[in-house]
Structure 1
Amino acid sequence: MFFTTARLTLRPVLPEDTSWLPALRDAPSVLDLSQFDSRLPPSVVLDSMGECIGLVLIWPSAPSLWRIEFLLLDSARGQGYAQEMVRAWGHRFQQLCPGDNLEAHLQEGDEAALKVLRFAGFEPCGAGRYCLGGGL
């Protein structure tokens, strides 16, 4: 499954992507697809030129609770791409998993990620945690 926004294409990770993809802090490996729901595959983010600029991962962490982590390459920062990709996946999540909650964990002082999450509609739901979908 893939989808587009005004400036981005989000598509499932392909085997050839793994050479440049870093591991995210708490996320499962993109190579272990059994950790992900087929409706919400690990997604590579492409800019309008087709260049890989980021990654979005959503995986189940408890019944009706999902985690999201996202990464934007340094070369693509400061252009609003992170806000666009997280908001797009947030909307997609709400369509595919109505009634469930999507949660992000932030490190203290990560103001850039906090700005992205707020733009996408996430609200505080605990220490260092932000939720989309009603909170917990």
Structure 2
Amino acid sequence: MRTGEVAALAGVNVQTLRYYERRGLIAEPVRGPGGHRDYPGDTVSLLGLIKTAQGLGFTLDEVAGLLGAARRGRPGDRLRERVVAKLAEVDRRLAELAAVRETLARLVDAECDSLTDCTRPDCPLSAAP
């Protein structure tokens, strides 16, 4: 498959496809007689896997590490520990967001009237460090 076709089927742009090549996330394709890139059929599913992993919060560096382990014949190599670490990171971020949400809700309830000079006695901003 040619570059444009792969990009369209995978839902990425051509620059993303080439960037993933440079990063080693996908193999550089063979060139056809006219010099056009000719990608293997599994490239679209690999791109989908990369996008799914990114959607789960994995960075491209982390995805590259997981793909490298899979290419070395150890697809489960460190996958579980990386998923557990990512889950812990998500839990930490959720706790931080819950604290932010609580403070925002208190601001709404207190009907604060100024960010820098609120006159409400129960303003959560005045209690901030």
**Higher strand residue share:** 1
**Higher helix residue share:** 2
**TM-score (ref. length: structure 1):** 0.27
Q: Which has the larger radius of gyration?
A: 2
Higher relative CO (Cα under 8 Å, sequence separation at least 6) belongs to: 1
